[in-house]
Amino acid sequence: MNDTKKSVPFFKYKGKPLVRCGSVLYYGSMNDPYVVKIESLETRKILNLDISTLVNVEMIDTSIENENSKKIVKISQKNGLYPALDIANIWLERASSEQNFKL
């Protein structure tokens, strides 16, 4: 009998992990300098599905050196999940290119 746990890969959006916890999505890897928190603030029922209509987007510094109050780097509100994912992807891509430029 094999007692080792199998690791389940995360769902990915544009090559980055996307993890859901209730009404909050985390986009990006905690091993990277930044991750984006996407929180649904308002929803509307469409065909028995809750669709996010207002979404809060926060880019968070993942380094442990920063104080909690300085962890949020950028913040925005979007009308829907797809615009939120688009801005999250743009933020992470820019942060990644800036990080690579500094090396």
Q: What is the pLDDT of residue 98?
A: 76
Provide φ and ψ at 94, rounded to 5°: -65, -45
Beta strands (DSSP E) in 1-103 are: 12-13, 16-21, 24-27, 34-46, 49-61, 72-78
Each residue's pLDDT expressed in tens, for the chain with a length of 103 residues:
555 666 777 789 898 999 999 999 999 998 888 999 999 999 999 999 889 999 999 999 988 775 655 688 899 999 999 999 999 999 999 998 876 655 4
Domain boundaries, the chain: 18-78
Q: For the range 70-77, what are the long-range contacts, defined as Cβ-Cβ under 8 Å and sequence gap of 24 or more?
A: 73/34, 77/41
Q: Count the Cβ atoms, other than its own, within 10 Å of residue 90.
A: 11
Q: What is the pLDDT of residue 38?
A: 96
Sheet hosting strand 34-46, strand order edge to edge:
12-13, 16-21, 24-27, 34-46, 49-61, 72-78
Q: What is the pLDDT of residue 57?
A: 97
